[in-house]
Amino acid sequence: MSDDLSVLFSSVRIGSLDLPNRIVMAPLTRNRVEPTTLAPRALNAEYYRQRASAGLIITEATQISQQGQGYLNTPGIYSDAQVEGWKLVTQAVHQAGGRIALQLWHVGRISHVSLQPNGDAPVAPSAIAAKTKTYLAHGFDDVSAPRALEQAEIKAIVRDYAKAAANAKRAGFDAVEIHGANGYLIDQFLRDGSNHRTDEYGGSIENRTRFALEVTRAVLESWEPSRVGFRISPAAPANDMSDSNPAPLFQYLAQELSALKLAFLHVNESQAADGPRFDFVGLRNVFAGAYMANAGYEASSAAKAINDKRADCVAFGKLFISNPDLVARFQTGAALNEWDQAKFYGGDVSGYTDYPALG
């Protein structure tokens, strides 16, 4: 092991979570839960168990309601069957000595009528269709045009988050992460490219962050803040997202989340190649909790970010898909397995639990 990488394997306290290393498994949608109940099963428990050496696992995005679903065969956390399914996962990870957080998700406009209750249109802050695709039974297809949420409906979705967060605690998770990134519902409220509302949820930065902060407070009804994280993607164009002035928006949000004493801010640092550079250091400076960096990191760049005090830990996505023992491979300098992108979404054990571990 290179001395330059040693910081990756040092312990760190994030909120009230003691992590044995700073290598986090990022949330990764894999579309492999039980199709009828959308509950995790033994296959999913094995997948996460194999990766329990991560300092922390953050699960694949998990919808808080049927309305929150946007892709085929993604898990939920709104039914008793789903809670029982997730118990299989948390028990397997804990038995292997790991720690695991559930990512709470509502896709908003990134959905299709075939996945929505009664075939309804997806919902969004404003009736603006995204130029992107979703994953359905026949493969990738355009998302459906959304309708704008009424204020009363927004309050109901906040209550759905509260119930889902309580269910995550019942399922035995160590923490939860609120998914406010990548062009899904919370991000749609945050950014002015997708939020054209003129009521208390639109216009000013204070109004556009209102939904995110209401959701966070709802989650804190059942979770202590030292076990709650929040994920953002301030400059990522994923799912047709944009904002006219993201720096003050996300600085304000980070300050407000810091005031709520959240454990960590998980930042997808992706940004358009031809766009202005976003000041991620500025976010770190205004958020008092741990800063979790994500997007395109490898071992050396992750270690440098931590040594330079730009991050407290780093989340890895695709590398964890193909390397269940990623921590050991980083530590020993072993070669990394290559991922098979054709098997990322849907399927069975192939490209899921059959990647080899060392030895």
Number of domains the chain contains: 1
Q: What CATH code is carried by the domain that includes residue 15?
A: 3.20.20.70
Q: Count CB atoms within 10 A of the CB of residue 270.
A: 17
How far is Cα 19 from Cα 13, in angstroms, rounded to an integer?
6
Which among 250, 253, 230, 254 has a CA at the least distance from the CA of 241?
A: 250
Instruction: Work out the percent of the chain whose per-residue pLDDT is above 90.
Output: 97
What is residue 1's predicted lDDT score, i.e. its pLDDT? 45
How far is Cα 152 from Cα 355, in angstroms, rounded to an integer?
47
What is residue 273's predicted lDDT score, i.e. its pLDDT? 81
**159 occurs within a structural domain:** yes
Bridge pairing between strands 12-14 and 17-19: antiparallel
The residue type at 87: K
What is residue 226's predicted lDDT score, i.e. its pLDDT? 98
Which among 136, 133, 138, 108 has a CA at the least distance from the CA of 121?
A: 108
Q: Catalogue the active-site residues.
A: 184
**63 occurs within a structural domain:** yes
Angle 110-114-116 (CA atoms, 0-180°, nearest 5)?
65
Which two three-digit tokens encode residue 341? 């992108």
Instruction: Work out the percent of the chain whose per-residue pLDDT is above 70.
Output: 99
Contact 83, 36 (CB under 8 A): no
How far is Cα 161 from Cα 99, in angstroms, rounded to an integer?
22
The residue type at 182: N
**126 occurs within a structural domain:** yes
Element (H, E) at 188: helix 185-190
**353 occurs within a structural domain:** no
How far is Cα 107 from Cα 87, in angstroms, rounded to an integer?
24
**177 occurs within a structural domain:** yes
Residues 54-104 have pLDDT tens digits of 999 999 999 999 999 999 999 999 999 999 999 999 999 999 999 999 999
**358 occurs within a structural domain:** no
User: What three-state secondary structure class fits 208?
Assistant: helix
pLDDT tens per residue across all 359 residues of the chain: 455 899 999 999 999 999 999 999 999 999 999 999 999 999 999 999 999 999 999 999 999 999 999 999 999 999 999 999 999 999 999 999 999 999 999 999 999 999 999 999 999 999 999 999 999 999 999 999 999 999 999 999 999 999 999 999 999 999 999 999 999 999 999 999 999 999 999 999 999 999 999 999 999 999 999 999 999 999 999 999 999 999 999 999 999 999 999 999 999 999 988 878 999 999 999 999 999 999 999 999 999 999 999 999 999 999 999 999 999 999 999 999 999 999 999 999 999 999 999 98
Element (H, E) at 124: strand 123-124
Contact 268, 256 (CB under 8 A): no
Q: Count CB atoms within 10 A of the CB of residue 94.
A: 16
**201 occurs within a structural domain:** yes
What is residue 275's predicted lDDT score, i.e. its pLDDT? 78
**299 occurs within a structural domain:** yes
How far is Cα 277 from Cα 258, in angstroms, rounded to an integer?
23
What is residue 4's predicted lDDT score, i.e. its pLDDT? 86
pTM: 0.97
What range does the domain containing 223 cover?
3-343
What is residue 312's predicted lDDT score, i.e. its pLDDT? 98
Tokens 């290559």: give the residue: 338
